[in-house]
Amino acid sequence: MKALTAGLRVCLVCRTVCHAPGDGMGDDRAPVRCPRCGAAVHARKADSLARTWAFLIAAAILYIPANLLPVMRTSTLFHTSDNTIISGVAYFWTSGSPELAVLIFTVSVVVPITKIVALAFLAWRARKPFRADAHPLGRLYSVVELIGRWSMLDVFVVALMAGMVQFRSFATITAGPGAAAFGAMVVLSMLAAHSFDPRLLWDHHGRSDDAR
């Protein structure tokens, strides 16, 4: 039995099961205050899908400058070169560290786009009833929530390189505008994942078979 059907709600902060206001049935949107921790307890996360979409669209837009703008500028006595995420990957690939190239490419390019597409798919599926099993969708959400943070890797690498390589006379590394765009994209996609309520996937689970 679902907590919602029983007129109960679980506090997502302390996991206390609280009584819903009124008769407890239906989608009563008013939050109750958790008696144990004081957090607002909603039956489902407030405006979950609208917030998820808003953060996702913002993240998808930032994905473009994050990958096109230079994240790092290397200056030596003789020349200055701008590096994007992709040129950094290419550098590792050609200079004999293919495993690092694969690592950076995965966390910086593959993970963000996979996360955005997967969350968009989940938000689309959660909108209306469907006949499919909710198990793989729930698992997809858990994975997406877990891996997103690793996309910050390149932002940290750029920050550390820029902080350390300061040989004023002959070589300096500075961060480029792509680093901020990239970091903002990661933050927005993490906010999108936090806003999504996986319980929405299960609300439709098996419903079409119940002949309602």
Among 4, 11, 49, 62, binds Zn ion (CB under 5 A): 11
Q: Please report how many Cα atoms fall inside a 13 Å half-sphere around the Cα of residue 207, on the Cβ side.
A: 13
Helix (H) or strand (E) holding 40, with range, is: strand 40-41
Assign 175 to helix, strand or coil: strand
Under 8 Å between Cβ of 111 and 63: no
What's 170's DSSP letter?
T
Among 49, 109, 183, 188, binds other proteins (CB under 8 A): 183
d(CA 139, CA 136): 5
Helix (H) or strand (E) holding 18, with range, is: strand 17-19
Among 158, 185, 188, 192, binds other proteins (CB under 8 A): 158
Q: Does 30 bind Zn ion (CB under 5 A)?
A: no
Contact characters 133-152, other proteins, x per CB under 8 A: -xx--x--xx------xx-x
Among 24, 28, 31, 39, binds other proteins (CB under 8 A): 39
Q: Does 129 bind other proteins (CB under 8 A)?
A: no
Q: Does 34 bind Zn ion (CB under 5 A)?
A: yes
Stretch that binds other proteins, among 58-66, 108-116, 119-127, 154-162 (CB under 8 A): 154-162
Q: What are the contacts of 207-211 at 24+ separation with CB within 8 A? A: 207/129, 208/129, 208/130, 208/131, 209/131
Nearest approach, Cβ of 64 to other proteins (angstroms)? 17
Q: Does 70 bind other proteins (CB under 8 A)?
A: no
Residue 134 interface partner, choices other proteins, Zn ion, none, CB cut-off 5-8 Å depending on type: other proteins
Q: Does 69 bind other proteins (CB under 8 A)?
A: no
Tokens representing residue 102 in the block: 């694969």
Under 8 Å between Cβ of 189 and 57: no
Nearest approach, Cβ of 120 to other proteins (angstroms)? 19
d(CA 19, CA 41): 10
Residues that bind other proteins (CB under 8 A): 1-4, 6, 8-10, 12-19, 32, 35-39, 95, 97, 100, 103-104, 134-135, 138, 141-142, 149-150, 152-167, 169-171, 174-177, 179-180, 183-184, 187, 190, 194, 198-199, 201-203, 205
